[in-house]
Every structure is written in C-alpha cells, then in structure tokens.
A and B are shown apart, each in its own frame.
Chain A
Amino acid sequence: MRLAFSLGFVLLGPVLIFGQQRSFVTCPIVRDTKTVPCFLAEYEGETYFLGIQQDITSDFHPPQLKHEVLVEGRMAEGPRVCGGIPLKPVAISVLKEVNLACNTLLPAEPGIEAPPAARPAGPSHGPLTLAAPHETFTGIHEFTVLYAFDDDYLEFGGNHVVTEAADYAKRIGASNVKITGYRATSVLSNGSRMVEKAGLAEKRAQDIATLLRGLGVSGISANWKSDAEPGDGSTDALRRRVTILVTP
C-alpha cells in the first residue's frame, strides 16, 4: 500500500501531477467477482476502485469491513475497474475504531471483473516467495518506513525496509544510524484536516530503534518531530514515516 504510494512518488513522480487528488473517509465496499474481490469506496456520489485482494507481499493492503477507511489517492486515467474510477497510487488507512455500519459485501455480477491477480483467491500457484530481492546500496543511504494514519503497525513492506536497513548497516559497519520519527496531517478533499495523535512520532521512532537493535545494529540514535507535519492534500501519506539514515 504505502510502498506503492512511495514508488509512485519516488520513481513515477510525474504520475502524481495527473488526475485529481481524492482524500476522504468512508466505509469501504467489497465487491466479489469470479476471481478475487475488489475493494471500492464511494465519495460524493462517485465510486472509486482501490485495489484487489492479493497477498501479504503486495504493495496494496486492502481496507477492512467493520472499519472506516481513509483513502488518499489520485484518479488515474483509463477505464473503470470493478465499476469504479481507479485511484492510483492510493494509500489506505484502516481507522482503528470499530464501525459496524461498514459492512457492505456485494455479490459477483456478470460483467464486473477484477483485474488479473498475481495470486488467486485460493492457494498460490507454486510456492510463495515471501522475501523480496534485496537492493544494493552504497554510501550514505536513507531508508523510509511508511505508516497508515494514526498507526504504528509495521506492515510487511515496512518490515522489509527495516530488515534491509539493518543488513546494510551491519554490512558496512555503519558509524551512525540516525532514526527520525514523524507524525503528519492529512488534508481531505472537503477541506477538513486530520492530525495524527500526539506521541506517535516518538513511538514510531522508538519502535524502529528497538527493531534495529534487535537485529544487531549498533550506533543508533532515535529522534522524533513532536509537531505534526503539515498536510498539502497531495503527498500527506508520505509524511507518516520514519527515516533511517545509515552513514558508513
């Protein structure tokens, strides 16, 4: 999810200037298909396609029924998918409190098909590869771990980033590993603002420091920005983060 957003921003930067930003909170909708389910969301009378069910290794982690979701994405060009305008890149944040009203599961219908899925709804075709390939880094390198709104849970993608940072720091015998935690503001399409809870930047930074120490990294300093990063309604999901600056 957040990795997809990150890649879209870092590698496909120009994509972000296409289409209109949509940031809103709503109940998600699950649409069954003859293959994997689609995840949708409605906002101001329009339906948006968020993504499909995939695997834990996927960049897109779907929303959850029984919870509202903060959707932050850009309307992508191209045809509707599963009946919705695709948002891509898109960041999904499942809000913590239970909301029993969020319970819409629609049956499959002829003519509504999910895009091709790397993994079917049942078992994977052949053994699943859980470890993503490691990249090669040199010199000073900054790793970024992204989070869902108001959340400190390290998802699979973040787990991979931390592991990569630890491996790199140990390989080069890093002289310094500087961790900085942030919390952020999300500006919604209706103009309202959502600010992550106080203390979250410290919690994120301390958690990552604990993980890195546990993975055998030394020379760690943990810092955090107590004030929430301001939002711009466009790149807010990228500001909910911890950076790990590894210096040889």
Chain B
Amino acid sequence: MRRTLLVVLALPLAVTLSAQYQSSLKDVWVEPGSGAVLPEFDAFDSVDGTLGVLNASGEVNTEGHPFFKALGTNGRACVSCHQPGWGMSVSAAELTQRWHVTSGKDPVFAAFDGSNCPSLPQDQESSHSLLLKRGLFRIPLVWPPRNADGSPKPVEFKIDVVRDPTGCNTSAEYGLKSAQPTISVYRRPRPAANLKYVTSGAQPIVLKTGRLAYLDPDTGRPVSMNLMTDAREPSLRTQAISAILGHEQANVSPARQQLDRIIDFESQVYMSQQAHIFGGPLAVQGGPPGLGVAALRDHKAGVLGDNDRDPVFGLFNTWKGNDYYRSSVARGADIFMFRQFWIRDTAHINSIGLGNPLKRTCATCHNAQMTGQDLSAGWVDVGTTNFPTWTEPSTWAESSELPVFKITCSKDADPHPYLGRVIYTTDPGRALISGKCVDVGSIVMQQLRGLAARAPYFAGGSAKTLREVVDFYDRRFDMKLTDGEKEDLINFLGAL
C-alpha cells in the first residue's frame, strides 16, 4: 500500500524512508509494540493521492514508546486508533480490512468500545457494524455529567432512549437505567496531529457561552476547548489519561513520564495531503503556501484566517488558470473563502450575536488558519445529529444503526435556539457534558487536514465521501452549488 511516488517538498526535508519501517510495515497498520521506527517524513496512499506525515523532531523509535505500547488490559495503544497512514486517525475501510486480516482479533475491536455494545457476541461482524461501516467507537458517558469533584452537574433536560439498535442504551448493565447510568454515543476518532493548532486560540472567557474556559490543571491557564467532539477534556494530558483508562482499559493512570512522551510525540507530528494522483506534488515552490506538512510545521498557530488578505489556507491565486486539477482546487478555495450563502439556524453561530440568518461564507466558521477549525471554542450545532437536518435517514423505515434520543428541556431552561424544547438526536454532543439545552447537537468542529485519508466524515461517520459532506452543506444551507462547484470544493478539501 505504500506509495512509491516521490513527494517534493517546498522546504528541505528528509524524505528517506526508514528501511526498518518499510520492512516492518508492509501493511502500513502499526501494531502496538511493533517496535517500528517512524521516519521524519513518510508518505501513504490516500484517496486520489498521497498523505504526508512529518515528525518534526526527527525519526521516532516506537520501541517502548507509550504512544505505541499497550498500557492497558485490552492490548490497544494510542496508535491503535491514531494510525500514521490514516492521518493519525483511522478509516472505516481500513478497519474493515483489519477485521478480515485478523479475523476480528485486533485489539482495535475490543468489546468495551470497539463493538456496538460489550454485551453483544464479539466474534460476529455485525456486533462491530458501527466501527466497520462508519469508523465509530462507542463513547460511554455517565449521566448526569459530573463535576471535577464527582458531584453531579445540574442538567436542564430529560433524556429518553427512543431507538436503540445497538442495545447498549437500554442494556441493564450498560444503559441509561443501569447501576451507573450511562449514555452511549458513537463517534469518529480525531486526528492526533497538527495539535499546536487545535490547542491554540484559548481565551479566558468563551465567546459562545460567556463563561470561563476550562483551565489546564497543570498550568492553570485557560485552554482552547477544541479538543475532542464535546470538549470534555481540557488538555492533551487529561485526554491521554482518559483515553488510556477508557479506550485502553488500564487499571491505573499512566506515569507522568509516559504522559510527557505521549504529549511530546503528539505535539510534533503533522499530517496533510501531500500529492494528488493527477495534480502531482501539492507543496511546491510558488504554489499555495498552506499545503503540505512542512507548511503546517512552520506556520504560526492561533491566527484568524477569515479575511481576504491572509486567508484560512493561504491564497491559491498562482493556481488559477493552471492545469485542470490545480485550477479546480483554486476555484474550490475561492468558494470556501468567498462564496456567500445564508448561514441559518446554527446554534453557537447565529445565536451568539451575529444574527439569524447570517450572509457569510464557509470561512466564517472554519476560520482558524491551517486547520479550518473555529479559533474560538468551536462547538456548533450545524445539524448533523439533530432531527430534521441530521445526516441519518429521515423516516423510520430507513432508520440507521445509530441510537436516537429524545431530549425534553425543562421549562425553566433556555431552549435550543432553533429546535425548541423537544429535540430528537443521534448524539447530543456538548450537551452531554454541559447539561445545557442550548448545547444539544453541538459538536466541536474538526480540522480539515488529511481528509482524503480518513473517511468517513462528520462526528457520526455519516458522510462516506467528501461529496456527501459537500452535499450536506449544500442542502443544509441552500447553497445551490452546481456539480462543477461541488467538484471544485471536493478537490480543494481533498488537497488539504
């Protein structure tokens, strides 16, 4: 699977592939404890091109490294779900292949969260359908949410399970009415790369809530609150602890030194699309300055890009009028930055003083330079999980495999700004952490890099392709994109 295409980088970079790495990774899947050495730069097949992965601090010896070593009881390591070859995330297609290669024995399919529910027969493919079809891991969240001292947070709504195709939310052992009431939602793993961007932009007061941002427990400083789907963990350190105790099912917290090494590794790894099968290398002299991993390594983090002089992913002017592919990417970049449409009924965008509707562009929300996240704490209800705009089938007969919850807001609470006091959702998102009605369906925006390597998309894995992503936005905001414009946007997104 490794791509032999030579990738030309704009900046000097060691492109040599470690012979040890190549030989140990004929299948690029990195198994925990494999002892592979990751080169400074590596390239992997992705849809229509090549993904680049850059270790900015030089080659990484994974032997005994806590990111690559199983620290828990189920054989998984961080790398199990954050694979270099898939943009430091993992694709549903690769997981399916992995199932067949290992007969479902790979630790990534651990019963705890690699299956639809631990109570299901684990040797059956159907018990892992959400992971295999959509790349979704089960995220069990206690209900009601807890404060740091373990006390329950006040919540503004009642939650009922309306549909439970996995059986987990109604399970006597794992469900909402179990001894430890738990809600299971199913989410894609986010890339553990380009993290200096994800963790930048912290402000003491969160613009979208008017409340204090979480503090980093180690430094006491405010954090960006852009980590994870629901921003429940404030820092890379707490996220790692949570993941090791949860996803890896460790019985004890990792040692501080192990955490330091995990964070050091995560903080120096960059990934992005590096080449296109027809367009050739993307990071080229005189080309768009934001493409390729070296640009991610070198660019300043925490910069607002929603302006016409220094846009989110830089200017693509030099590719206008170039060959077919590059011209298409440049047109897609212009659509992303400048094509106006009505952004409406989007909680935490329209509802924070900007007005409803808001005549703006994609870059209004996807405004952080180099990643296209939101520079402020970025949870937004764009409608992917809430009825009726959700990305699931809209009728009972065609219902998906995701659970459906009914949220009933108390009369004293502020309702969801556009859906009111009764909301049907496949994932309440941030509301499962904040307990607030206004947050139902709000999901932290994801970075837009390396997309071609890590389908499917959206937190619920509901868009199999970038075309489905673009179709969703076109439908949701009545953008009236032509087929040609959709192709341009897809080429642009695929080049990031």
Residue positions of A touching B, CB distance < 8 A: 1, 30, 32, 36-37, 39, 53, 55-56, 61-67, 96-98, 105, 121-128, 130, 152-156, 158-159, 162-163, 207, 210-211, 214-215
Contacts and interface: CB of A to CB of B under 8 A. Distances in A.
Given A62-B354, A64-B351, A123-B361, A211 B212 contact: yes
26 contacts: A53-B355, A61-B353, A63-B356, A64-B351, A66-B356, A66-B417, A67-B417, A96-B414, A122-B337, A123-B337, A124-B306, A124-B307, A124-B308, A125-B309, A126-B308, A126-B309, A128-B304, A128-B307, A153-B210, A154-B205, A154-B210, A155-B352, A155-B353, A158-B210, A159-B210, A162-B205
B212 A214 contact: yes
Interface in B352-379: 352-361, 363-364
Contacts of A32: 359
B304 A127 contact: yes
B207 A65 contact: no
Contacts of B356: 62-67
A122 B367 CA distance: 12
Contacts of A62: 353-356
B344 interface: yes
Contacts of A130: 304
A210 B306 contact: no
Nearest to B206: A159
Given A56-B352, A210-B212, A30 B361 contact: no
Contacts of A67: 356, 417
Nearest to A166: B204
Contacts of B417: 64, 66-67, 96, 98
Interface residues of B, number: 41
B40 interface: no
Given A96-B414, A121-B359, A159-B205, A56 B354 contact: yes
Given A56-B207, A127-B310, A64 B360 contact: no
Contacts of A207: 210-211
A36 B359 contact: yes
A125 B338 CA distance: 12
Contacts of A125: 307-309
B360 A121 contact: yes
B230 interface: no
A36 to B, nearest CB: 6
Contacts of B57: none
Contacts of B353: 1, 56, 61-62, 155-156
Q: Which DSSP category, helix, strand, loop or mixed, fits chain A's interface?
A: loop
A128 B306 contact: yes
Given A32-B359, A62-B355, A97-B415, A127 B307 contact: yes
Q: Which of A122, A124, A152 has the most CB of B within 10 A?
A: A122
A96 B354 CA distance: 16
Contact of B340 (A65, A122, A124, A210): A122
A64 B355 contact: yes
Nearest to A61: B353
B338 A122 contact: yes
B242 to A, nearest CB: 23
B93 interface: no
Given A126-B307, A127-B307, 16 more contacts: A39-B355, A53-B355, A55-B354, A64-B355, A65-B357, A66-B418, A98-B417, A105-B357, A123-B337, A127-B304, A153-B210, A154-B211, A155-B210, A159-B205, A159-B210, A207-B210
B443 to A, nearest CB: 20
A186 B211 CA distance: 26
B311 interface: yes
B342 interface: yes
Contacts of B209: 153
Contacts of A64: 350-351, 355-356, 417
Nearest to A159: B205
A66 B204 contact: no
A122 B354 contact: no
Nearest to A151: B414
A1 to B, nearest CB: 7
A190 B309 CA distance: 49
A37 B340 CA distance: 12
Contacts of B309: 125-127
Interface string B308-322: 111100000000000
A116 to B, nearest CB: 16
Nearest to B360: A121
Nearest to A210: B212
Contacts of A152: 210
A154 B356 CA distance: 18
A211 B211 contact: yes
A128 B359 CA distance: 17
B419 interface: yes
A66 B310 contact: no
Contacts of B211: 154, 207, 210-211
A103 to B, nearest CB: 10
Given A66-B356, A125-B309, A128-B306, A98 B420 contact: yes
Interface string B297-308: 000000010111
A211 B205 CA distance: 8
A105 to B, nearest CB: 7
Q: Which of B211, B353, B415 has the most CB of A within 10 A?
A: B353
Enumerate the 9 nearest inter-chain pairs by beta-carbon distance, A residue then B residue, closest first. A154-B210, A62-B355, A64-B356, A61-B353, A214-B212, A98-B420, A121-B359, A124-B307, A123-B308
B345 A66 contact: yes
B478 to A, nearest CB: 11
A152 B357 CA distance: 22
B418 A163 contact: no
A1 B352 CA distance: 12
A5 to B, nearest CB: 14
Interface in B383-419: 414-419
Interface in B266-316: 304, 306-311
